Amino acid sequence: MSNNYFHATKKLVRQYFDQLDHSSSSKSHVPLAVPPYGWEEVCEALDSMLSMKTTMGDKVRKFEESFAKYIGTKYAVMVNSGSSANLLALSVLSNSSFGNDRIKKGDEVITPAVTWATTVYPIVNVGAKPVFVDVDRQTYNIDADKIELAITKKTKAIMPVHLLGFPSDMKKIKRIAGKYGLHVIEDSCEAHGAEYFGKKVGSIGDIGTFSFFASHHITTMEGGMLVTSNKKIYELGKALRAFGWVRDLADKQQYKKKYPSIDSRFLFINIGYNLRPTEIQGAFGIHQIQKLNSLIKIRVENAKYWKMRLSAYSKYIMLPPDFAGFKNVYMTYPITVNENKFFDKDDLVRDLERHGIETRPVMAGNMVRQPVMTHIDHKVSGELVNSQYIMKNSFLIGNHQAINDRKRKYVADIIIRFLDKKTKSD
């Protein structure tokens, strides 16, 4: 296709997106998520497809560099999903070349009970055992005060999850990890741009992971990222991402000299996977990262508005807290129904859905209660009282760039109308 045709196509794509205004749709339909990309991402991806350069290349590397700089780490390794980022993180820390400090088969990794399945599965995939700890009822994150009780001689890592964009208490977690010599893997898949006392989540532990699924703060359709400031983790991560070959490694020349009889393009020095992203995902990423702060701002403003309108009903519903030093980026907006005699969570959820406001559970709820756990060797530390409470009484509504003033007011109005009607005799 000639440049003239490509420029004409770009113009048409831009015109299409200019008239595609999700926020102008009916105020009575509030979806959980609307992918936050526009014409720039589509045209950049189209450029990759038309140039026939679609496998991992320059655009992926450019996005990796930009994302690492944004998070505040030295390195970033892009993969094909956030789930793969978690798998890569655990695989690096359990790889035989990582040394005596590695996670071995039968070792334990502490993680919160309220989480998503793909935080847990990679722990199992590398032969380790997940140990579930209860969460804080307000933040939905791991209760850092209960972590130390879960530590045994087999504990090798703590894997906190910054659930829904709210940072975990990393000072306490790092202190415990330092005391017992444990790795810290930050599952930041839902927390792009969240901060803990001025530091971006993902940059505080040994490894951070992120997801770029369509419902997240930024998207590459599917995609994920491992971030770290540890060069050993970075180099091993690059090798394991792509078959264990040497192509992307800083010291690949040494391997070429050591194995001169093997074609260096196909020289494998470790086990590995094919977790590579495409240039199309990289094309999305280099534009999405430029939009991230503005997308976060919209979510934060929505959350402030809902808290302002709904805080008068704190007797009946619990809203996300505001803690000094914790910057919440609100991937969604969670609501917990306090147990009362007038209504329960299901009553409120049904009313919202009836009015076109989509809802969903808080991730997988109490993961220990999921049927899949019958297939997984795991441990539970203490009573998961809060995790079970959240599974029973909490839910999420959408919070994204397509929710404008009119839609967020509609959401608040519907909730308030329901609460007033149900509690009028109180």
Catalytically annotated residues: 216
Contact 185, 201 (CB under 8 A): no
Say if residue 160 is exposed, middle or buried (CB neighbours under 10 Å; 0-12, 13-18, 19+).
buried
Task: Give SS3 for 196.
Answer: strand
Amino acid letter for position 125: N
Q: How many CB atoms lie within 10 A of CB 52?
A: 8
Dist CA 300 CA 37 (whole Å): 19
Half-sphere CA count of 57, side-chain side, radius 13 A: 12
Element (H, E) at 228: strand 224-228
Pairing state of beta strands 224-228 and 207-211? antiparallel
Dist CA 215 CA 336 (whole Å): 21
Angular region, 99: left φ>0, alpha ψ -120 to 50, beta rest: left
Q: How many CB atoms lie within 10 A of CB 347?
A: 13
Backbone angles phi, psi at 386, to 5 degrees: -70, -35
Q: How many CB atoms lie within 10 A of CB 18?
A: 10
Four-residue CA torsion sign, 73, 79, 80, 82:
negative
Contact 201, 220 (CB under 8 A): no
Task: Give SS3 for 250.
Answer: coil
Contact 149, 132 (CB under 8 A): no
